[in-house]
Amino acid sequence: MKKLSLTLTLCLSATLFSCSATSDTMHKEGEPPVVAEKLEPYVCGEIARLHTYDSIFLASQPTPADFEQAALSGVKTVINIRHDKEITGFDEAAVVAANGLTYVHLPWNGVDELTDEVFAQTRELLNTAERPILLHCGSANRVGGVWIPWRVLDGGLSFEEALAEAKVVGLKTAGYIDRAREYVASQR
C-alpha cells in the first residue's frame, strides 16, 4: 500500500475536487465515498491524517476547502472534538453548515477532559449520526483516543486490536489509552 503522503500528492495533482482510497480508486463526485471494511488510509483534499472505516472518516483538522470536498464526496455529518479557540482562521461551524453538512461539536482536550460522558456521547454519535461521518481533532490524536471504546464496545474488537487501529489513526497520548481502558472496563 502506498504511503499516505505519496497518495495525497498523486490525488491532488490528478484532481482538485476528488477524494480517494489509497488503492488509487478515484472517488467520483455524486457517488458515495468508499466504505472500507477495515481501517484504511484515505485521501481528501489537504487533510494531513485521514483514515476510513465503515463510512466513518477519522481525521486531523480539515481546511474550509476540505469540508467542501467532503460534502461533494457525500459526507453528511462532521463531528469536531476541538475547542473553538483551537481553530483559527475560520468559523468551522459556519463553513460546515454552508456546505450543507450537519455539525456536531463535542469539544475536549487533555486527559482531564476525556470523561466517561465524552466517550459515551462519541459512541452514541458514531452509532446514530447520519453517515458518512467525518470525526476530527487537530492531529487525530484525540480521535484515536475516542476510537478505542467504540471499536471495543460497539465493534467487538479486543482492546489491543482497537489500540493498534487508534495508533494508526494518530493516537499518541498514553493518558488517553489509560482513560479508554478505564471506560471500557466500566462498561463491561
> In the chain, where are the structural domains located?
4-138
Task: Give the tens place of pLDDT for each residue, 1-19.
Answer: 333 332 332 233 233 334 5
- Tell me the CA distances in angstroms from 6 to 51, 58, 165, 179, one per residue in order: 15, 19, 21, 34
Q: Rounded to an integer, what distance in angstroms lies between the CA atom of residue 11 and that of residue 45? A: 8
Q: What is the pLDDT of residues 25-42, one digit of tens each?
A: 334 455 555 455 799 999
Of 79, 98, 61, 72, which is closest to residue 17 (Cα–Cα)?
72
Residue 186's pLDDT is: 98
- Quick check: 138 pLDDT over 90? yes
Q: Output 37 or 94, whichever has higher pLDDT.
A: 94
Candidates 39, 34, 101, 40; CA nearest to 66 is 101
Per-residue pLDDT, averaged over 124-138, amounts to 98
Q: Please tell me the predicted confidence (pLDDT) of residue 16.
A: 32
The string of pLDDT tens digits covering residues 49-88 is 999 999 999 999 999 999 999 999 999 999 999 999 999 9
pLDDT tens track for 148-184:
999 999 999 999 999 999 999 999 999 999 999 999 9
CATH 3.90.190 fits 4-138, yes or no: yes
Q: Give pLDDT, residue 63.
A: 97
Mean predicted lDDT score pLDDT of the chain: 86
